[in-house]
Amino acid sequence: MSGPEQNPDRKPGRTVDETLIETTLLDLVDGRGPGKTVCPSEVARALGGPHPDGWGRLMQPVRRIAVRLAKAGRITILRKGRPVDPDDFRGVYRLGPAGGEASSGPGSQPEV
C-alpha cells in the first residue's frame, strides 16, 4: 500500500472535528480488515495531509478518540500486537478491529 489516501472531502482551512476523526479512524480500521492494524498517524495524515504541520496537530485528538472508541468496544488499541487497557498505555500503539489481536503477516503495517 502506498500510504493513506487523503480524504477527498477535506478542504484547505476546513476544521477537522471529532466526528470526522472518528469516521476516518473507523473507515481505515474497517478497510484494513480483520487481524490487520492502522497506525494512528495514518488517520491524522488522511485528514491533515502529508506534511507534519498538517497532521502532527491531529495526533492527540486521534488518540483521545481512539481511547473513547476502545472503551466503547468499537476498536482495539494494541501495543506490540497485544490489546492494551485504553486507560493505561504508553508509547507506540496501533489500532485494530474490536476484539482481536493483530497478525504480523502481510498487510499488517510495521509500528512507526
Read off the pLDDT of residues 25-57 as tens digits, 9 standing for 90 and up.
999 999 998 889 999 999 999 999 999 999 999
C-alpha–C-alpha distance, residues 52 and 68, integer Å: 24
C-alpha–C-alpha distance, residues 84 and 70, integer Å: 10
List the grid coordinates of 93: 500503539
Q: Is residue 7 part of a domain?
A: no
Q: Is residue 66 part of a domain?
A: yes
Q: Is residue 29 part of a domain?
A: yes
- The CATH number covering residue 36 comes to 1.10.10.10
Model confidence band, residue 108 (pLDDT cutoffs 50, 70, 90): very low
Q: Is residue 3 part of a domain?
A: no
* Number of compact structural domains in the chain: 1
Model confidence band, residue 76 (pLDDT cutoffs 50, 70, 90): very high
Mean of all residue pLDDT scores within the chain: 84
For the beta carbon of residue 6, count every other beta carbon within 10 angstroms: 14
Q: Contact 55/48 with Cβ under 8 angstroms?
A: yes
Domain residues for 27? 18-97
Q: Is residue 104 part of a domain?
A: no
89 CB-near residues (< 8 Å, 6+ apart): 77, 79
Task: Flag whether pLDDT at 11 surpasses 50.
Answer: no
Q: Is residue 26 part of a domain?
A: yes
100 CB-near residues (< 8 Å, 6+ apart): 34, 35, 76
C-alpha–C-alpha distance, residues 68 and 110, integer Å: 24
Q: Note if the pTM is more than 0.85.
A: no
Q: Is residue 105 part of a domain?
A: no
pLDDT at site 102:
57
